[in-house]
Chains A and B, each alone.
Chain A
Amino acid sequence: MKLNRRRFLTLSAASVGALAFTGEARAFRAPWAAPQKWYEGEVKTVFSYCENCFWKCGIAVKVAGGRVRKIDGQPANPKSRGRLCPRGQAGVAQLYDPDRLKRPLIRIDGSSRGDGKYREASWEEALDYIAERMLGIKEKYGPEAIAWFGHGSGDKWFVEYLPAAWGSPNAAKPAVSICTAPRETASQWTFGRPIGGHEPVDWTETRYIVLIGHHIGEDTHNTQLQDFSEALRLGAKLVVVDPRFSTAASKANRWLPIKPGTDLALLLSWIHVLIKENLFDREYIKKYTVGFEELAVHSNKHTPEWAEKITEIPAETIRAVAREMAAARPRAVIPPGRHTVWYGDDTQRMRAVYILNTLLGNYGVPGGFYLAKPPYLEKYPHPPFPLEPAAGGCSGSSGGEEELPEGFKPRADKDKFFAKTTAIQELIEPMLTGEPYPIRGLVAYGVNLFHSIPNVPRTKKALKGLDLYVAIDVLPQEHVMWADVVLPECTYLERYDDLVGIAHKTPFIELRQPAVEPLWDSKPGWWIARELGLRLGLEEFFQWKDIEEYLNTRLELIGSSLAEMKEKGTLIQRGRPYLKDWERRRRNPFRTPSRKIELYSKTFADHGLDPLPEFTPPMPVPAGFYRLLYGRSPVHSFAKTQNNWILMELNPENEVWINRHEGEAIGVQHGEYVWIENDTGVREGPVRVRLTERIRNDCVYLVHGFGHKSRGERLASGRGASDNALQTRYVLDPISGGAALRNNFVKIIKGAPRPKHKHIGQLARERRL
């Protein structure tokens, strides 16, 4: 064909016209045009619940172009109410983290645990490997020789479902004995009710709040922060008792910089003032409680003057606060907090908290504690488990006697403490010593073994001695790369999980559903559990073929369906929040032995424990050392978000808070890097110094979750210091089994080199997915 000018012009015109016609004119975008944003395209919304902490806010995930772009709160969800904390928002970065575990890994034969030598394997090979060894251990030692540790939404499968089906009582969650055990045990034996994962504090109705520790604002459990802020906006008065001037303290009317470890003395003296000055709610005490006479006698000696010498808080302040809270009652509340394993007498301290609340007459009353009701939800109709799940949880049962079925051994930490739930740190000894019986295998799901359980060297020694160690996780955390088999779970945005029921004023059920397909060869926890269960001979408990069937069956049993839940995200039911709601139905909410609130606990007395709280001083601080205190940053969750580039850009390292005068006296400067060494010689750092007026001079403070040693987490590795590594000593609470972590003492060592890290932004750019 000859291309003359006319032909050429015709062809050109035709092609341009054709392109314009087909809408491909986009191809001719000018080079200076603005790049297209995700919200300009089609956006799909998927309802789910968040996994970045354990609050489990309902979320609305925005998906565009096959990728998750943004996570918002679900407007109708009673937890998030359309709002999210920074970790909830930044979950997208975890999903697209290129450091994530991608394929099952099997440790190379002959290598040691901790060498980090792995080969990739198929799921079949990895699961067969695990099942074969687990069955071998069961045959030789019994099913109890496998311990199951876990934390997260999937811990339903790996710490409750599978261990109960398998027959091992040694299933534990750090959420219990490294966190909530004291407050749950104390609540069970005072009120006969749990506190639960969603603390039932009636924030928006209260007029006077006393926080013991409880650094709301740095601890950003979404709803609690929303309600707390609303309470202050409505004019509630706030008192904060904390050795450190926390964010909450910055909003307080009074800050009581208490000597660490003496909170119980303060609480006892408040009880004393309320009783002595007749400021307590007489009617409430008469109607709902037992043991007041014993309490009154017991509290005689707990004068404010006595407490002043112990707590370093002036007696007049103690009296003033007691009178103020009494004046506001029953709309005065001392919230229970969450992480309560502090000094070893923690259950007794929580008992004192509850006694004080009871004296104010606020339990089950507006402005105090409301009565949280769990939602109506049926279990999946599987055959009865051989064993009842013993791990407890944020709202687990936590008391007294347990029945043991024929042919099964009791949990390996029985008789070490009073409560019925397992204590994760007490299950390490059997791995080392074989007492009371050997534990030879461990399945660890999502629990950060080197950033939670105290005495990390002991944990490492125990892991080295096991016959089998399996880790199921999302990121290559340090403890994960010690396992014999590493199973990559996909993130919460890529999977279904079991339904979550939240006990609340308005109890509700949340669904988790995937927003996108799992990346690489990662699999959801339910699938891993099922595949493992089938190989372990537990088919009868896995009759459901897939999670959709499981969920749909459960939902249909309560008159809903999976389709409805997927559309709504949250199902809300009616609650019974106050005593009057229960009394109207002639029901008694207190499931104590006496069916009343037990100020005096006869059960404790019968077991040789103090029936009323008694103050004992904590371990003293050795000369030249400081007590190590720890807490949260609002930007991070535990040790799981330090590889999230969005959050790390906001807060890339933790700092050791030292009182300014103290710091100047020992010659450290603000912003310099130091080592922190504890009194058993463990050293952490380099970590940055923060000289501050916001802390007493007898303690130092670290945000928990930094100091990662995992080389596979390129953002997290080597930044800051790990408080857990310095927590080599713990004191066992004899009632709840909690491992008290605040009896560790550190000194500051100058001369640490300034770490040479690339900027987070640069690392994020380099390792983009």
Chain B
Amino acid sequence: MTAFYGIPGAEAFWHWTTLVHFLLVALAGGTAFYTAIVGLREPGNLRGLAWLSLVFIILDLFMLWAESPARLRFSHIWLFLSFAPLSAIWWGAWGLSLSALMLILLGTKLGPPRFWSGMLALSSTIVLAYPGYALAANAARPLWDHLVLALFPASGLLLALAVLVWLRPANEAAPWLQIAALASLALTALYPLALASGGADTRAALALWFQDWGWFLLGGVLLFLAAFLARRSPALAGACALAGGFVIRSWIVEHGQHSLFVHGF
């Protein structure tokens, strides 16, 4: 039996605003990556894609600033005055900012579009990859298994495609939506297995997963529906993908914060 005088710092450190960020950053990175691919293949077909993507990036950056307890300290400037290549968030800040710059250049049609698209492809990959890295880097949180390094980019791209399938010609984005949905579904199904093969905290991590696996199942069902409906009814598939991706990602971020230290050891 464990009791405390005072409490460990075991409360949630990321709140609902962070869950919204994880959605927006996926939309930002995913649409930027899509823009880059379109820009590399058919630069003329970009239309408003660059601006859409830029809007998501701006929304995400604003969200990150507004929800930060340090918002009025304006210390975010230090992100750009430091070199921290081991930090996911550092990569994210630079990735988002460079992506924004590339998108402005593409949107205003200044300079070589293929070149900017190539740069955008790199920077948006960073944006897609860094959220998963931000989670997986924490050995202290066993629910943020290394699997999320793949699951978050996949689901991130899926969320972006879910939105794009409504705004772009139906047959353009739909096949990619199906692939992304299948990839996300597979990784989601593998998630409990990944937890079970974990190290010392396996038992506790699995116990935490079992507590609320209903949401997980819901997310999985929605992803399955998205994959199934992708070619038949792309708009509905997009809605399912958006919901399913959001549920899975939010569940992992939310539950993964739980401290295991506070009860054991």
Interface residues of A (CB under 8 A from B): 31-32, 635, 649-651, 670, 690-692
Contacts and interface: CB of A to CB of B under 8 A. Distances in A.
B74 interface: yes
A651 B5 contact: yes
Contacts of A650: 5-6
Given A651-B5, A690-B3, A691-B1, 15 more contacts: A31-B72, A31-B73, A31-B74, A31-B75, A32-B70, A32-B73, A32-B74, A32-B75, A32-B77, A32-B78, A649-B6, A650-B5, A650-B6, A670-B1, A692-B1
Looking at B1, B75, B78, the one whose CB has the most chain A CB atoms below 10 A away is B1
Interface in B52-84: 70, 72-75, 77-78
Contacts of B6: 649-650
17 contacts: A31-B73, A31-B74, A31-B75, A32-B70, A32-B73, A32-B74, A32-B75, A32-B77, A32-B78, A635-B5, A649-B6, A650-B6, A651-B5, A670-B1, A690-B3, A691-B1, A692-B1
Interface residues of B, number: 11
A690 B1 CA distance: 9
Tell me the dominant secondary structure on chain B's binding face: mixed
Nearest to A670: B1
Nearest to B76: A32
Contacts of A635: 5
A311 to B, nearest CB: 27
A651 B70 CA distance: 30
Interface string B66-106: 00001011110110000000000000000000000000000
Contacts of A670: 1
Contacts of A649: 6
A503 to B, nearest CB: 33
Contacts of B73: 31-32
A645 to B, nearest CB: 12
Interface of B: 1, 3, 5-6, 70, 72-75, 77-78
A691 B75 CA distance: 48
A649 B72 CA distance: 28
B262 to A, nearest CB: 14
A32 B71 CA distance: 10
A651 B5 CA distance: 6
Nearest to A651: B5
Contacts of B5: 635, 650-651
Nearest to B77: A32
A132 to B, nearest CB: 49
Nearest to A655: B3
A691 B3 CA distance: 11
Nearest to B72: A31
Contacts of B72: 31
A635 B5 CA distance: 8
B237 to A, nearest CB: 44
Contacts of B1: 670, 691-692
Nearest to B73: A32
A31 B70 CA distance: 10
A618 B98 CA distance: 81
Contacts of A31: 72-75
A642 B171 CA distance: 68
A219 B261 CA distance: 29
Nearest to B5: A650
A649 B70 CA distance: 25
A31 B78 CA distance: 12
A649 B75 CA distance: 31
Contacts of B78: 32
A691 B1 CA distance: 9
A406 to B, nearest CB: 57
Nearest to A647: B5
Contacts of B74: 31-32
Contacts of B77: 32
Contacts of B3: 690
A147 to B, nearest CB: 38
A752 to B, nearest CB: 20
B102 to A, nearest CB: 29
Contacts of A691: 1
B11 to A, nearest CB: 10
Nearest to A33: B73
Contacts of A651: 5
Contacts of A692: 1
B15 to A, nearest CB: 16
B10 to A, nearest CB: 14
B235 to A, nearest CB: 45
B126 to A, nearest CB: 26
B62 to A, nearest CB: 18
A35 to B, nearest CB: 10
A569 to B, nearest CB: 30
Nearest to B7: A649
Nearest to A86: B5
A483 B73 CA distance: 50
A690 B6 CA distance: 17
Contacts of B70: 32
A539 B62 CA distance: 73
A32 B70 CA distance: 8
Contacts of A690: 3
B78 to A, nearest CB: 7
Of listed A31, A649, A670, A690, residue having the most chain B CB within 10 A: A31
A635 B78 CA distance: 42
A646 to B, nearest CB: 10
Nearest to B74: A31
B191 to A, nearest CB: 31
A747 B245 CA distance: 53
Q: Which 7 residue pairs of A and B lie closest in terms of their CB atoms, listed nearest first?
A: A32-B75, A650-B5, A32-B73, A650-B6, A31-B74, A31-B73, A651-B5
A635 B6 CA distance: 10
B190 to A, nearest CB: 36
A166 B4 CA distance: 50
A691 B6 CA distance: 20
A650 B3 CA distance: 11
A1 B126 CA distance: 57
A249 to B, nearest CB: 16
B4 to A, nearest CB: 9
A63 B5 CA distance: 27
A650 B4 CA distance: 8
